[in-house]
Amino acid sequence: MLEDIAKELRRDIMKTAYKGGSGHIASALSAVEIMTALYFGDVLQYDAQNPKWDDRDKVILSKGHASLLLYSILKHIGYITQEELDTFCQPGSVLGGEPKLGDIPGVEATTGSLGHGLSFAVGIAMANKLDRRDSRVYVILGDGECQEGSVWEAALSAAHNHLDNLTVILDCNGLQAMDDTEKIVSLTPFKEKWEAFGWHVIEADGHDVNRMQEILKQDKNLQTDKPHMIIAHTIKGKGISFMENVPIWHYRMPNSEEMEIVKKDLDIDQM
């Protein structure tokens, strides 16, 4: 079941971060159900045996600091091994704090400098149109990231070019590095903004993995000439009781005492 996969991904995120002593844990946790539905909900078109398949759907993790989640997913798919995942953020590892194109299969763009993932996706979606490929491009975008002007330039371009083969899933967790997103630069009303830029927009509970699966399946068959936006309302740090909606966990690593709480929250026997 998708719920079981989501829980296993949370375990991987916490174990990997604790071993590596690094990572943006809370940002990864908020997107777990979104990416579980996308990768394991019979939505994404990909070949686990052939990661370079030309007609694959592509996923760009624009909020690249959530790489712990992407790497955990790629391990479950079989693109990387557990041994490779255990090297996260270690000297000589190809698994850095942000994903880098060319280092491992399943990474479609180098991200981490926020605000650029959507622009990459627009270019890929345009190329797919020109090549008449029946594949989609998905972007996992952060809400704080939308304070970058480059996001809105890409949004205009996508609508102008009628990129209905492009879907953005907005991980709307309401927090960024230092505080509430609304206290730093207000982005509301989000839905109306994206609609004004020419996008088809729906909203959803980003932690209801079955509903996310349903929406993503419907999205593939949506008849429109507009790019698609799914605003997924989420909780930063979801699944770890003391991390949820607490800004400091954008950066912090749990200590040994806090990891005992993590083990109870996620039913982990040993790290």
Q: Is the pLDDT reported for residue 269 higher than 90?
A: no
d(CA 190, CA 193): 5
Express each pLDDT in 2-58 by its tens digit: 999 999 999 999 999 999 999 999 999 999 999 999 999 999 999 999 999 999 999
Express each pLDDT in 110-161 by its tens digit: 999 999 999 999 999 999 999 999 999 999 999 999 999 999 999 999 999 9
Three-class SS state of 68? helix
Q: Which of 32, 14, 90, 68 is nearest to 258 (CA)?
A: 14
H/E stretch holding 123 reads helix 117-131
Which residue type does 90 have?
Q
Global pTM reads 0.97
Which residue type does 8 have?
E
- pLDDT band for 270, please (50, 70, 90 cuts): low
Between 2-20 and 32-40, two packed helices, what is the crossing angle to 10 degrees? 120
Q: Is the pLDDT reported for residue 221 higher than 70?
A: yes
Express each pLDDT in 232-258 by its tens digit: 999 999 999 999 999 999 989 999 999
Express each pLDDT in 65-112 by its tens digit: 999 999 999 999 999 999 999 999 999 999 999 999 999 999 999 999
d(CA 2, CA 95): 25
User: Exposed e or buried b for every residue in 159-168, given b needs 16+ CB within 10 A?
Assistant: beeebbbbbb
CATH 3.40.50.2000 fits 2-265, yes or no: no
Q: Kind of pairing, strands 166-172 and 58-61?
A: unpaired
